[in-house]
Amino acid sequence: MEAAVWVIILPLLTAFFLGISKLYFKRIFFPLVTGSAIIYLFLLILVITNSYPPKVYSIGDWDLLGINLMVDPFSALFLLMIAILFFPFIIFSMKYNKFMKHDYFIFAYLMIAGISGMVLTADLFNLYVFMEVSSLSSCALSLYKKTDRGIEGTFKYLIMSTVGSFFILLATILTYYLTGTLNMAEIPLAFEDIPFKIKSTLMTFFVFGYAVKVGLIPLHAWLPDAYEDSPIPYNVLSSGLVLKSAVYALIRVLYIMFGVDFLDESRLLNIVVFWGVITFIIAHCLAYQQSNLNRLLAYSTVAQIAYIMIGLFVGTEAGLIAGSFHILNHAIMKGTLFLVVGIFHYSIAAVEIKDIKGLGYKFPILSFTFVVASFAIVGLPPFNGFLSKWLIVEAALEAGFVYVAFFILVGTFLSLTYYLKVIVTLYTKNEQELEMEKAGLSLKLPTIFLGSLCIVFGIVPSLPLSLINKIPEFLLDNEDYIRILLGG
């Protein structure tokens, strides 16, 4: 499994070489970025196809004494998301960003390295280190425009994310103090003798820390501000990958280290499901009030992540499959929406909803893509969002959360209202002449690619589901995971 470690160090090396290329060899910038992205795509596909049964790669040949990387279907899902989003992101931002391209791509590659490190590692402290790499470079990208609003939003983001990191680090230190090991397979074995009270306190620290990074209400306040004036391709990666990687870390820590039985016993599953319901209802209501497109999509992200949390925390096999499917679908749908908004911003500097009045007739294909993606995110058939939402409702009903199923229906109507508001504005006739900068093919192609995935995954859901169906096997029952990591 040599490729697993290359998935982490190739983006790191690319970022370091970009730093040199910025100073002395400006000409190799384009071949470096695109060439490395293409190689990276192949590496990701290689790792994803080899993810079942899970493989372990021991860094430095130290086995349990050092750090191990492990590829299982759940991490493969995240690598798949990187593979889908990263190449469109690069093509789009090459054209979209007009200044300081080197720094932008240095941070982007560092962020990707951090995220891939997070999803591959099987070591608690290594998880923390890579999380810091990804969130620090994510902060850097979100203030990239250096406008006043951007700096204010990023400052909030930085403070909140540091508070979250503090709790995660505290919990990590205490875990090491209690168990004497950082390996994710040995911690659950050593955890059996720890009293319930201390274990649940540790769990609370982890949940609080990651809930800040995920952005559950009332810990979400940084998210819309950070998205408001940041480069829009970054928003695609942030809502698609950075927030999701925090979800990944939370699920990995809770399901593997604590085990689903303990989660059930400590009532955490019920608490997070209830928290999720409150989050999406409030976030939908807040999204309805927004006039800024970026903020609207940011609140929509908060709501969608609440759906994901509900799916993952129902605690059954069906719930894990539904939540993981929604992780993938949300990355694609929200990516499409952000990219379309990005093109509107690029062409006519549109930020508010009223600015895009009548654009439906000027950009027919793009507006159609927007409509497709927003119907998918609302949850209308036959798009991909419908399927995963339906699976979440089914899983919630099966596990006995009847009120969740009802409120998801209410939430669907709420989200329909504000997306319809945008769509109606888009197709309202506007006589006013607009000064437009033409959006080239390099902006349109990534958008249409992601938009078409919305339809493809809606009609042929078996493509991603063949990978996703294997996820609960190594997550719900942590014994298999532990056995493989221990080298059985």
Judged by CB under 8 A, the residue of 45, 50, 52, 66 near another protein is 66
Give the dihedral sign, CA 15/120/235/447. Answer: positive
Residue 306 is encoded by which pair of tokens? 């609440």
Residue 33 or 395 having the CB closest to another protein: 33
CB of 300 to another protein, least distance (A): 29
Judged by CB under 8 A, the chain residues 280 through 339 that form the site for another protein are: none
Instruction: Tell me: does residue 133 bind another protein (CB under 8 A).
Output: yes
Instruction: Tell me: does residue 113 bind another protein (CB under 8 A).
Output: yes
Instruction: For 101, list phi and psi in degrees, rounded to 5.
Output: -65, -35
Residue 150 or 446 having the CB closest to another protein: 150
Instruction: Tell me: does residue 98 bind another protein (CB under 8 A).
Output: no
Residue 194 or 405 having the CB closest to another protein: 194
Instruction: Tell me: does residue 358 bind another protein (CB under 8 A).
Output: no
Q: Which stretch binds another protein (CB under 8 A): 18-26, 295-303, 346-354, 480-488?
A: 18-26
| Residues in contact with 330: Cβ distance below 8 Å, sequence separation at least 6, in sequence order | 239, 240, 301, 304, 305, 307, 308, 377, 385
CB of 433 to another protein, least distance (A): 38
- CA 112, 113, 117 angle in degrees (round to 5)? 115
CB of 323 to another protein, least distance (A): 28
How far apart, in whole angstroms, are the C-alpha atoms of residue 280 and residue 216? 9
Instruction: Tell me: does residue 418 bind another protein (CB under 8 A).
Output: no
CB of 144 to another protein, least distance (A): 8
Q: What number of other Cβ atoms are within 10 A of residue 197's Cβ?
A: 8
Residue 165 is encoded by which pair of tokens? 């990191």
Judged by CB under 8 A, the residue of 48, 108, 139, 467 near another protein is 139
Instruction: Tell me: does residue 17 bind another protein (CB under 8 A).
Output: yes
Instruction: Tell me: does residue 20 bind another protein (CB under 8 A).
Output: yes
Instruction: Tell me: does residue 110 bind another protein (CB under 8 A).
Output: yes
Burial of 487 (0-12, 13-18, 19+ CB in 10 A): exposed
| Residues in contact with 231: Cβ distance below 8 Å, sequence separation at least 6, in sequence order | 93, 96, 97, 104, 141, 144, 145
Please give the size of the binding site for another protein, defined by CB under 8 A: 53
Instruction: Tell me: does residue 24 bind another protein (CB under 8 A).
Output: yes
Instruction: Tell me: does residue 59 bind another protein (CB under 8 A).
Output: yes
Mask: binding to another protein, 142-181, rule CB under 8 A, as x and -?
-x--x---------------------------x--xxxxx
Judged by CB under 8 A, the residue of 86, 130, 157, 234 near another protein is 130
CB of 284 to another protein, least distance (A): 30
Instruction: Tell me: does residue 208 bind another protein (CB under 8 A).
Output: no
Is 90 within 8 Å of 31 (Cβ atoms)?
A: no
Residue 62 or 413 having the CB closest to another protein: 62
Judged by CB under 8 A, the residue of 83, 95, 132, 152 near another protein is 132
Judged by CB under 8 A, the residue of 60, 429, 432, 488 near another protein is 60
CB of 132 to another protein, least distance (A): 6
CB of 187 to another protein, least distance (A): 10
Judged by CB under 8 A, the residue of 54, 73, 117, 231 near another protein is 117
Candidates 206, 112, 139, 204; CA nearest to 168 is 206
Q: Which residues bind another protein (CB under 8 A)?
A: 2, 5, 9, 12-13, 16-17, 19-20, 22-24, 57-62, 65-67, 100, 103, 106-107, 110, 113-114, 117, 125-126, 129-130, 132-133, 136-137, 139-140, 143, 146, 174, 177-181, 190, 194-195, 197-198, 201
